[in-house]
Amino acid sequence: MKAAAAALLLGLAVLLMIPAASFLYEAGGPDACARCHEMGAPVGEWRHSTHRGVPCSACHGDALTTNARFHLTNARRVVQHWRGEAGVRAQLGPAEIRAMLPRCQKCHQQEFASWSNGPHAIAYRSIFLDEKHNASRHLMDDCLRCHGMHFDGGVRDLVEPLSTKGPWRLRRAELLDDPAIPCMSCHSIHRRGALHEERRLEAKIAGPRQEKFRPSLAFFDRRSMAPVDLALLPMPAMSDGGRPVKMSPDPRQALCYQCHAPLSTRQVFSGDDRTPVGVHEGISCLGCHDKHRQTTRASCSNCHPRLSNCGRDVEQMDTTFANRSSKHNIHTVKCADCHPKGIPARRARSD
């Protein structure tokens, strides 16, 4: 009996050691976090980041976090650290990425709501258990480059069977409803920049001092296991047949091109490319697509009818904007598509 009680007490003590160690570790603040080699770089980046006003624990959890996996992961990291097996920097796995989403939402409610209602909030289930896709194409590790980029394994660790004959199932069932393209796919939380609070009065900031885009924009690279800054992402030089396509100078597009990418021929509409040609050539993706929802419904009126050659209601024209089955894709529509006999002379403006 005494032995059982002693064992129970010992077990409890061991269990409590993990949160107790967390308390001790966190008591020193960010400096305590940075004591470990693998935490030095992220903490250093955080000090200059847009999130430097947010304590580590707000995003990464603390001793009071009621998630056993969180504490076990930390315990595993401590063991790795002491055995000298820790990597260059601590990485977040899919479970930690999922846990961070409500923390993003807490401050970025509007952005979160827009993203949640858009195509980029698609779940692992919809991507990797898509019967139409899986029956016609083999799943491969490269799928994870754009979908589930934070997944800590290869595609064979995620889906089985890896063949065109189903039924398919996720080997990690807990990921079924997790977003495959979470906030951290396109945003680097530790990226250098102005505090969010300082932007509350951004309407009063003079134009030349305003941000062109959030400094957090970065694409999460699975190979590097790190976000790649927007400035380092290339913009492809696109061609339409032999003709070079006029590209928008908007640097934010480089993020879109990472996944909505052309094939190596760099031909427009090859692969998953959507570079506009025709009447919309030279317009940025974000000229029409809302950045988080990707919706386009209100975008036409940003430019039309003032920039319309014919002064017609462009939303009613025979394009895929008005009707998805139209043969005039909004990305490719040309004047000649509707004026096969020649383009009429521009009407004189009355204003």
Partner 1 sequence: MAAAAGCARRPAPAAGYRFLTQAEVETLGAWVDTLIPPDEDPGARDAGVVRYIDLQLTRWFRRHQSEYREALAHIDRWARSRAGRGFAGLPLDAREEMLSLMEQGEADRAWFPDGGKAAFELVLAHAMQGFYGNPRHGGNRGYASWKMIGVPPMPVRGREHYEAERTFPEKT
Nearer to partner 1 among residue 207 and residue 241 (C-beta):
241
Nearer to partner 1 among residue 108 and residue 125 (C-beta):
125
Q: Angle at CA 33, nearest 5°, toward 29 and 34?
A: 115
Residues 20-49, mask of contacts with partner 1 (x by CB under 8 A): -----------------x--x---------
Contact assessment for residue 67 and residue 99, using Cβ atoms and an 8 Å cutoff: yes
Amino acid at 106: K
Single out the residue of 165, 204, 212, 223 in contact with partner 1 (rule: CB under 8 A).
223
Work out whether 216 is an interface residue with partner 1 (CB under 8 A). no
Work out whether 275 is an interface residue with partner 1 (CB under 8 A). no
Nearer to partner 1 among residue 228 and residue 310 (C-beta):
228
Stretch that binds partner 1, among 106-114, 180-188, 301-309, 322-330 (CB under 8 A): 322-330
Stretch that binds partner 1, among 61-69, 269-277, 280-288, 295-303 (CB under 8 A): 269-277
Written as six digits, the tokens of 4 are: 């059982």
Single out the residue of 66, 110, 224, 316 in contact with partner 1 (rule: CB under 8 A).
224
Three-class DSSP labels, 274-341: CCCCHHHCCCCHHHHCCCCCCCCCCCHHHCCCCCCCCCCCHHHCCCCCCCCCCCCCCCCCCHHHHCCC
Under 8 Å CB-to-CB from 203, ≥6 apart: which residues? Answer: none
Written as six digits, the tokens of 335 are: 């004047």
Give Cα 135 distance to the centre of its chain: 27
Number of H helices, E strands in the chain: 12, 6
Nearer to partner 1 among residue 101 and residue 143 (C-beta):
143
Work out whether 336 is an interface residue with partner 1 (CB under 8 A). no
Contact assessment for residue 251 and residue 230, using Cβ atoms and an 8 Å cutoff: yes
Work out whether 138 is an interface residue with partner 1 (CB under 8 A). no
Work out whether 137 is an interface residue with partner 1 (CB under 8 A). yes
Footprint of partner 1 on this chain (CB under 8 A)?
37, 40, 84-85, 87-88, 132-133, 136-137, 142, 145, 219, 221, 223-226, 228, 232-234, 236, 257-258, 261-264, 269-274, 325, 327, 329, 331-332
